[in-house]
Amino acid sequence: GAVVSQHPSWVICKSGTSVKIECRSLDFQATTMFWYRQFPKQSLMLMATSNEGSKATYEQGVEKDKFLINHASLTLSTLTVTSAHPEDSSFYICSAMAPWGFQETQYFGPGTRLLVL
Amino acid sequence: KQEVTRIPAALSVPEGENLVLNCSFTDSAIYNLQWFRQDPGKGLTSLLLIQSSQREQTSGRLNASLDKSSGRSTLYIAASQPGDSATYLCAGLVTGGGNKLTFGTGTQLKVEL
């Protein structure tokens, strides 16, 4: 149980185009999901907290108009990188908060590698 | 602001060695600390989670300890195997932090035959 998927697993796009990444909790409902960004050989940096039915909360320095987040259902959050540029190339990972227990556990997706040419 | 760092950055050991990875954090209001494994190009696999009220957790050859007073957590890997080669990250969740995890930068481990 507690499986989180991401789609696509990798994407290559031209500069100026928009790319949508999906994050799904497959066997549980997640009212809260998180989006992270990871550069090569670096750790994960939290971009935003996605709450079902409300606006996402962005971390300082993350452009909300650049990285659009929609959490329209309890099992799906999407991250859209608008007008992508080469500097947006990165590994994007989502996580979903488990609704059970007290350990505030996040389950992570396998990541999406984005390459902007 | 919570900061989580890792020591060392990279480690290469021969198979069979016992090894220790360290993680330090600056905020004593930590709710829990988690150790993850990340294989190249992959997502994260949770290894161990230690609540602030606990001192250690064990799973198989892995043992993680938490010392809030010194701001350190240690991941001990016994009898290392080539399959243990990966990047290991620690992450802390701070009380009142909105369930946000703050990640350390990870230790790249290579276990050689």
B57-79 pLDDT tens trace = 999 999 999 988 888 899 999 99
Range of A49-58, A79-88, B38-47 with top mean pLDDT = A79-88
* Chain-chain contact of B101 with A93 (C-beta, under 8 angstroms): no
Give dist(CA B75, CA B88) in Å, integer. 9
Q: Which two tokens stand for residue A48?
A: 């935003």
By Cβ distance, the residue of A41, A43, A97 closest to B103 is A43
Using one digit for the tens of pLDDT, what is the confidence trace for B16-41?
A: 999 999 888 877 678 889 999 999 88
pLDDT at B80 over 90: yes
> Which CA distances in Å does B11 have to A52, A66, B14, B72?
41, 37, 10, 19
By Cβ distance, the residue of B32, B43, B106 closest to A108 is B43
Using pLDDT thresholds of 50, 70 and 90, give the confidence band for residue B6.
Answer: low
Q: Determine the average pLDDT of the residues in A89-108.
A: 81
Q: Determine the average pLDDT of the residues in A74-100.
A: 92
* Chain-chain contact of B41 with A113 (C-beta, under 8 angstroms): yes
Q: Nearest to residue A29, comparing CAs of A59, A51, A7?
A: A51
Query: So what's the pLDDT on residue B1?
Result: 44
Using one digit for the tens of pLDDT, what is the confidence trace for A23-43?
A: 999 988 888 999 999 988 888
Closest residue of B to A110, CA-based? B43
Q: Which contiguous run of DSSP H or E holds residue A50? A: strand A44-51
**Residue A42, min C-alpha distance to chain B (Å):** 6
* Chain-chain contact of B108 with A106 (C-beta, under 8 angstroms): no
pLDDT at A100 over 70: no
Chain B environment of A34 (Cβ under 8 Å): 100-101
Give dist(CA A81, CA A90) in Å, integer. 11
Mean of pLDDT over chain B: 87
